[in-house]
Amino acid sequence: LLDSYGWSATLQRQFQPHAARGLIPARVTVQHRGLYRLACDHGDLSAELSGRFLHDAEGGDHPVAGDWVAAALRPEAGAAIIRHVLPRFSAFVRRAAGPRHGAQVVAANVDLALLTASLNGDLNLRRLERYLVTARESRAEPVIVLTKADMCEDVETRVAQVRDVALGIPVHAVSALTGQGLEALTRLLGPGRTAVLLGSSGVGKSTLVNALAGQEVMATQAIREDDAHGRHTTTHRELVLLPGGGLVLDTPGMRELGLWDSEAGVAATFADVQSQVDALAARCRFGDCAHAGEPGCAVAAALADGTLDEGRWRSYGKLQRELNHLALREDPIARNKVRKTWIAVNKAQRAAYRRRWSDD
Ligand SMILES: Nc1nc2c(ncn2[C@@H]2O[C@H](COP(=O)(O)OP(=O)(O)OP(=O)(O)O)[C@@H](O)[C@H]2O)c(=O)[nH]1
Ligand SMILES: [Mg+2]
Ligand SMILES: [Zn+2]
């Protein structure tokens, strides 16, 4: 059973010290507040966190859906206690929503980040850029999925607009209703490969899971008629094993996606803008031009005549300011702790990944 959930030789090695202490390996399939469901060789278990997670600050990051954990079986049938989280090879991390500061890990150990937006209504490219930044930072492979193609008159134009900001990241138009594009998605999800669906409420994430699974696994609900917003139908995260052997993780729709520690992600997402600005800067009147209203600014001229896309330029600046603000405000110790839990082990891998994105 573990193999079908993507267990690997690397994980097996990392698990050795826990095995020596009599713990069993398992993957978190459902996460709902403090309650978990685990998949393991003993079947499906319900689990809670150990006291160390709950009371000890050193317990680190709580497990999330997709995590591999070391658990202790309890005397009651089908129950376990989660003692450790194994190092994550990828994590989609955002700034926690609402007044709570800090990072929130939305999904862990995913190979693919399916960034969803609906073709029903206005496409928000600026929001999509946020998803791209966070996904490029996650070490999962980003793929853009435009849903509800059956409700759009001009799919090709929309796809082209999205491609302009995707900088080579694949874009798929799909419809759960007609089946358009589903085969292409299924092909991306080979056996043991995990994809997470991310996006706003109502875009059709759960409907897509059901279509891929070939059965009603997740509840779905019509969007609001007045403003076409979703109703936040899904309230927990759930990893679903597909008939073809792939795994897809459904998540609750996000109201906002605040950036967390994403310098490399921002740089990669706006690499085109940055190289354009680098070239223009040589023609600014002042050598130290900040392109913020100085006379004789070549960037301002390019914005005025449309050679530089104003929407993207503004978006780039906004996200950079958001990161600077975060760096000043957040407690560096808290930030380090989050980084530590999933980055330390794979530092070299991460460097290689960054090179991969910065090369293009
Ligand atoms: N026409 C059409 N409607 C769709 C499609 N996919 C989803 N819908 C509808 O969109 C509505 C919302 O779908 P959900 O799957 O519940 O959306 P969700 O993204 O899971 O929303 P949250 O769980 O709130 O985040 C439902 O009424 C679906 O029937 C599609 O491809 N075409
Ligand atoms: Mg849903
Ligand atoms: Zn300038």
Digit-coded pLDDT (tens) for 93-103: 999 877 667 88
Phi, psi (rounded to 5 degrees) for 113: -110, 105
Query: Does an H or E element contain 347, and which?
Result: helix 347-359
Share of residues in the chain with pLDDT > 70 (%): 89
Please report which ligand is nearest the Cα atom of 303.
3
Residues 6+ apart with CB under 8 A from 19: 25
pLDDT band at 124 (very low <50, low <70, confident <90, very high): very high
Is the distance from CB of 152 to CB of 120 less than 8 angstroms?
Answer: yes
Structure tokens at 245: 């052997």
Q: Which amino acid residue places its CA nearest to atom 13 of ligand 1?
A: 204
Please report which ligand is nearest the Cα atom of 221.
1
**Overall residue count recorded for the chain in this entry:** 360
Among residues 167, 19, 132, the alpha carbon closest in space to that of 84 is found at: 19
pLDDT (mean) for 326-348: 53
Task: Please say if the pLDDT value at position 89 is more than 70.
Answer: yes
Inter-axis angle of helices 125-138 and 155-166, to 10 degrees? 50
* pLDDT tens-digit series, residues 195-226: 999 999 999 999 999 999 999 999 999 988 87
Supply the pLDDT for residue 335: 56
Among residues 34, 95, 119, the alpha carbon closest in space to that of 254 is found at: 95
Share of residues in the chain with pLDDT > 90 (%): 76
Q: Which residue has the higher pLDDT, 33 or 281?
A: 281
Is the distance from CB of 149 to CB of 173 less than 8 angstroms?
Answer: yes
pLDDT band at 63 (very low <50, low <70, confident <90, very high): very high
pLDDT (mean) for 5-15: 95
Q: Which residue has the higher pLDDT, 326 or 282?
A: 282
Task: Please say if the pLDDT value at position 253 is more than 90.
Answer: yes
Instruction: Give the whole-angstrom CA distance, residue 180 versus residue 94.
Output: 31
pLDDT (mean) for 66-82: 94
Q: Which residue has the higher pLDDT, 258 or 351?
A: 258
Supply the pLDDT for residue 356: 45
* Ligand 1 mean position, distance from CA 293 (Å): 44
Question: Is 0.75 surpassed by the pTM of this model?
Answer: yes
Among residues 238, 5, 32, 21, the alpha carbon closest in space to that of 49 is found at: 32
Task: Please say if the pLDDT value at position 351 is more than 60.
Answer: no
pLDDT (mean) for 229-233: 89
Residues linked to residue 40 through DSSP beta bridges, in sequence order: 43
Q: Which atom of ligand 1 is nearest to the CA of 200?
A: 25
Task: Please say if the pLDDT value at position 170 is more than 90.
Answer: yes
Instruction: Give the whole-angstrom CA distance, residue 300 versus residue 311.
Output: 13
* Ligand 3 mean position, distance from CA 317 (Å): 14
Supply the pLDDT for residue 132: 98
Among residues 31, 41, 106, the alpha carbon closest in space to that of 256 is found at: 106
Q: Which of 206, 220, 224 to mutate to test the pocket of ligand 1 (most atoms within 8 A of CB)?
A: 220
Lining ligand 1 with CB less than 6 A are 147-148, 150-151, 175-177, 201-207, 220-223, 230-234, 252-253
Supply the pLDDT for residue 181: 97
Q: Which residue type is seen at 51?
A: G
Average pLDDT of the chain?
A: 89
| Sign of the Cα pseudo-torsion (210, 215, 217, 218, in order) | positive
Q: Which atom of ligand 1 is nearest to the CA of 147?
A: 31
Q: Which residue has the higher pLDDT, 24 or 75?
A: 24
Please calculate the CA angle 188-190-192 and round it to the nearest 5 degrees.
Answer: 130
* Ligand 2 mean position, distance from CA 258 (Å): 20
Residues linked to residue 309 through DSSP beta bridges, in sequence order: none
* pLDDT tens-digit series, residues 270-287: 999 999 999 999 999 999
Question: How far is CA 163 from its chain centroid?
Answer: 19
Residues 6+ apart with CB under 8 A from 256: 97
Lowest mean pLDDT among 76-85, 125-134, 174-183, 342-351: 342-351
Per-residue CA distances from 163 to 211, 213, 218, 268 (Å): 25, 28, 30, 15
The answer for 304, left when phi > 0, alpha when psi is -120 to 50, beta otherwise, is alpha
